[in-house]
Chain A
Amino acid sequence: MGEEVKLIGARGSPFNCRVEIALKLKGVEYEFIEEDLANKSPLLLKYNPVHKKIPVLLHNGKPIAESLVILEYVDQTWEGASILPQHPYERAMARFWAKFIDDKCMSALWNACWSKGKEQEKAIEEANELLKLLENELKDKKFFGGDNIGLVDIVADFIAYWVGAIQEVTGAEVLTKEKFPKLFEWAREFINCSIVKEKLPPRDHLTGFFRIKLEAPDTLKYNPQVR
Chain B
Amino acid sequence: MATSDVKLLGAWPSPYVNRVQIVLKLKSVDYEYMEQSFPGKSELLLKSNPVYKKIPVLIHGDKPICESLIIVQYIDEVWNKNGPSLLPSDPYDCAMARFWAAYIDDKWFPIMGELRKAQEEEAKATLIKQAAEGLVLLEEAFLKCSKGKDYFGGESIGYLDIALGSFLGWIKAGEIMSGVKLLDETKTPGLVQWAQRFCSNDVVKDVLPEPEKLIEVLKMIQARLKAAATST
Contacts and interface: CB of A to CB of B under 8 A. Distances in A.
Contacts of B63: 89
A194 interface: no
Contacts, number: 54
Contact of A68 (B73, B74, B78, B102): B102
A64 B95 contact: yes
Interface residues of A, number: 22
B228 interface: no
A100 B49 CA distance: 12
Contacts of A77: 91
A73 B51 contact: no
B94 A95 contact: no
A151 to B, nearest CB: 12
Given A50-B137, A88-B77, 8 more contacts: A64-B92, A66-B98, A66-B99, A66-B102, A72-B94, A92-B70, A92-B71, A92-B74
Nearest to B49: A96
Interface string A83-114: 00000110110011001100000000000000
Contacts of B73: 91-92, 95
B65 interface: yes
Chain B contact surface mostly: helix
Given A91-B74, A133-B51, A59 B92 contact: yes
**Interface size class for chain B?**
20 to 34
A103 B137 CA distance: 23
Interface in A68-83: 68-70, 72-73, 76-77
A62 B95 CA distance: 11
Interface of A: 50, 59, 62, 64-66, 68-70, 72-73, 76-77, 88-89, 91-92, 95-96, 99-100, 133
A99 B67 contact: yes
Nearest to B89: A76
Contact of A50 (B66, B67, B103): B103
Nearest to A98: B70
A162 B78 CA distance: 36
Contact of A69 (B66, B74, B102): B102
A66 B98 CA distance: 9
A181 B91 CA distance: 39
A96 B92 contact: no
- Residue among B74, B92, B94, B99 having the largest count of chain A Cβ atoms under 10 Å: B99
